[in-house]
């Protein structure tokens, strides 16, 4: 047990599994979950033998984004989403990260998974970028990573409408990821991880660094643009009302 809500296991030689299991908060970004994720990725980066990471959730939840309290802190100007940079942990990890999104990916939770190098979705689960549901513009680097991973047309629809999509629907819409029955997602992730683990570590690190260079270069500017939009959209009374009345619905 790595922490009370995040487990880190070296499941096989060179393959780490990070399991998010904050059942009390349905894997929302509680302080404990964020701290556990940051510590887990730091430990992996310090390990000289790692070759692949599998990031997954529990039961029907992958990750569910910000808590109501954290959204209210943003609305009140007491915090910014950049204060604890959780969204780019997978991007900045030295070795490849596979998001085995066996469960629902909600808002920032879905974005967290998209920042991985390889993404696997489940047919049954719900995925969305629900920021605009609460009346504020998207954050977490979502305006960069969602179009990059899903394509501009689908990304614009998801970001603007804040609609929810089953994995089966996203599969029909042509998302470029495997979309499998929930009980097959983790097994498929291990198959991919074993393929990665056959390669030399230095080669994996070097290629990931090259493949993600443009994304890491662009991300800070986009995040600043998202913060600028938040100064226009997050402090509306309607946003607070929506957070209080719609959260969890």
Residues marked active site are found at 230
For tokens 């029955």, the residue is: 181
Please report the sign of the dihedral spanned by the C-alpha atoms of residue 127, residue 132, residue 135, residue 136.
positive
Q: How far apart are CA 244 and CA 71, in angstroms?
A: 10
Contact of 6 with 21, CB cutoff 8 Å: yes
Name, in order, each residue with C-beta under 8 angstroms of 125's C-beta and a sequence gap of 6 or more: 60, 62, 101, 102, 103, 104, 105, 166, 167, 182
CA distances from residue 24 to 21, 61, 111, 131, 218 in whole angstroms, order as listed: 9, 12, 21, 22, 35
Q: How many helices (H) and strands (E) does the chain have?
A: 11, 10
Are residues 65 and 164 in contact, defined by beta-carbon separation less than 8 angstroms? Answer: no
Backbone angles phi, psi at 199, to 5 degrees: -90, 160
CA 226 to each of CA 35, 142, 234: distance values in angstroms, whole numbers, following the listed order: 23, 9, 11
């Amino acid at each position: 047990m790595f922490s009370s809500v995040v487990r880190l296991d070296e499941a096989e030689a060179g393959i780490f599994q990070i399991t998010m299991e904050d059942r009390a908060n349905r894997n929302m970004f509680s302080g404990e979950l964020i701290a556990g994720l940051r510590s887990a990725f730091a430990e992996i980066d310090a390990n000289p033998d790692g070759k692949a990471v599998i990031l997954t959730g529990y039961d029907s939840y992958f990750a569910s984004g910000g808590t109501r309290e954290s959204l209210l802190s943003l609305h009140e100007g007491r915090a910014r989403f950049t204060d604890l940079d959780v969204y780019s942990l997978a991007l900045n990890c030295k070795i490849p990260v596979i998001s085995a999104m066996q469960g629902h990916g909600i808002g920032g939770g879905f974005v967290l998974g998209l920042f991985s190098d390889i993404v696997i979705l489940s047919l049954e689960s719900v995925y969305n970028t629900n920021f605009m549901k609460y009346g504020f513009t998207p954050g977490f680097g979502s305006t960069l990573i969602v179009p990059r991973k899903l394509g501009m047309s689908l990304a614009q629809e998801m970001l603007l409408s804040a609609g929810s999509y089953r994995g089966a629907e996203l599969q029909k819409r042509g998302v470029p990821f495997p979309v499998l029955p929930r009980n097959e997602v983790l097994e498929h992730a291990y198959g991919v991880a074993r393929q990665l683990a056959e390669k030399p570590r230095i080669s994996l690190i070097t290629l990931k660094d090259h493949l993600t260079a443009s994304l890491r270069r662009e991300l800070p500017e986009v995040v600043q643009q998202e913060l600028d939009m938040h100064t226009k959209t997050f402090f509306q009374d309607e946003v607070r009302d929506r957070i209080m009345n719609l959260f969890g619905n």
